[in-house]
Amino acid sequence: MSVPSPSPAQSSPEKTVRIGVIGAGLMGKEVASAFGRWFALLDCPVRPELVAVCDVNAAALDWFRQVPTVRHFDTDHRALLARADIDAVYIAVPHHLHESLYLDALRAGKDLLAEKPFGIDLAAARRIRDEAARLGRFVRVSSEFPFLPGAQRAIQIARSGSLGKILSLRNSFLHSSDLDPTKPINWKRQNRFCGLAGVMNDLGLHVAHVPLRMGWKPVRLHAQLQKIYTERPDGKGGTAPCDTWDNAVLHCTVDLPGQPGVPLTLETKRMSPTDTNSWEIEILGTDGGVRYSTKQPKTLLTYTRGKEQAWSATDLGFAMPFKTITGGIFEPGFPDILMQMWASFLAERAGLLGDRFGCATPDEAVAHHELWEAALLSQHHNSVVTL
């Protein structure tokens, strides 16, 4: 299904887009912080203004009272969505709430920056996408890491054709957050809240966004999924079932033009020793290769075929899709790429993205759910699944 074009009201540039946030947790605070330093951007044609925040926990709203632009504090998302002075919403809630809140937002006439995985499962993602298309709303899905300078350079190199025939592709997102068995249970470790895809729902769009955007859509896959700890402390002196998948490695096959059968590996792990929050991409070809990891956020590794085999390291500095006041010698961090993602969302919504990298689309979110559904089937039957 094609991505819907912006509605007529969005066809011309807007100086200010009024934003409401539903979910006053960590990511809601990060969004407020990004908007608060928006003046650091030099060439974004749109400015966001955070005007409303909603959370079922009234105490969670208190942090936002220091944000001078926020004038509405709601505990019912329907009250926020009914407000006429909101153009678009960002919704960051547990996965099992995605479908109902996203559909409510779309039907209230709001555009949407959704959190991944865009519904708890494939069926939910399809319903959200189709309703957005039917209503003509502009919808994108949160995925920050491709906006890093190293990721952008890797994409540019891959698109240039300079790598020759592609030998292998890999994209990973690795955490060590669940290695401690005494860590209390939370909603991301329970299928009824996180979804049967487990870690793939939680981290998967981060590794699927670039491959899908590049046209590297798997035609077959075999999955290796792991559940390491089956219970965790419940925070009340007892234990609770921990039934989500902790680690997932998908061995995929991609058919490229003139090159059938290219291997693509997608890894999402909550139990990866030494990895705090490591996003990695590697593209290897017959004439060259590129590798980038957030473990070394300024360093891009490249090679060119020659008599000797060696990687060359390039110190990239602060080269973002949207220019900022930040000097080129400095290192980028998560707040920077979050702001870049929002700039991309707002510019594309206004029809002013140009040739810059765009946020994940509803179609890409549906496609990544198709991968996780196939992975669950592959794990169940220990077989290769055709997509």
DSSP string, 223-235: EEEE---SEEE-S
Is the torsion defined by CA of 189, 194, 197, 202 positive or negative? negative
The CB density around residue 240, as the number of other CB atoms within 10 Å, is 16
Sorted by where each begins, the domain ranges of the chain are: 8-141, 145-332+360-381
CB 287 within 8 A of CB 296: no
CB 115 within 8 A of CB 27: yes
Q: How far apart are CA 83 and CA 96, in angstroms?
A: 25
361 secondary structure, DSSP code: P
Query: Can you name the CATH fold of 8-141?
Result: Rossmann fold (3.40.50)
Mean pLDDT of 39-43: 95
Tell me which residue of 157, 374, 354, 154 sits closest to 251, measured CA to CA. 374
CB 342 within 8 A of CB 144: no
- At 375, give phi and psi (nearest 5°): -65, -40
Tell me which residue of 76, 77, 151 sits closest to 112, measured CA to CA. 77
Residue ranges with strand state E in 197-258: 220-226, 231-233, 239-241, 247-256
Q: How far apart are CA 268 and CA 125, in angstroms?
A: 20
CB 35 within 8 A of CB 88: no
Whose tokens are 């859509």? That residue is: 217
**247-256 and 259-269 beta bridge pairing:** antiparallel
274 secondary structure, DSSP code: T
> Is 3's pLDDT higher than 80?
no
What is the amino acid identity at position 250? L
User: pTM above 0.75?
Assistant: yes
The CA R_g of the chain, rounded to the nearest whole Å, is 21
pLDDT given for residue 10 in this prediction: 44
pLDDT in tens, 214-258: 999 999 999 999 999 999 999 999 999 999 999 999 999 999 999
pLDDT given for residue 217 in this prediction: 97
Mean pLDDT of 334-362: 97
Mean pLDDT of 139-160: 97
pLDDT in tens, 48-88: 999 999 999 999 999 999 999 999 999 999 999 999 999 99
pLDDT band at 1; cut points 50, 70, 90: very low
Domains 8-141 and 145-332+360-381 in one fold: no
Q: How far apart are CA 261 and CA 65, in angstroms?
A: 54
pLDDT given for residue 11 in this prediction: 41
pLDDT band at 2; cut points 50, 70, 90: very low
Average pLDDT, the chain: 95
- The CATH number of 145-332+360-381 is 3.30.360.10
pLDDT band at 35; cut points 50, 70, 90: very high
pLDDT given for residue 15 in this prediction: 87
Q: How far apart are CA 286 and CA 306, in angstroms?
A: 11
pLDDT band at 5; cut points 50, 70, 90: very low
CB 219 within 8 A of CB 386: yes
**111-114 and 88-91 beta bridge pairing:** parallel
What contacts 301, CB < 8 A, 6 or more positions away?
290, 291, 292, 311, 312, 313, 314
Q: How far apart are CA 157 and CA 288, in angstroms?
A: 9
Residues forming a β-bridge with 292? 281, 300
pLDDT given for residue 12 in this prediction: 43
pLDDT given for residue 42 in this prediction: 94
How many residues would you count in the chain?
A: 387
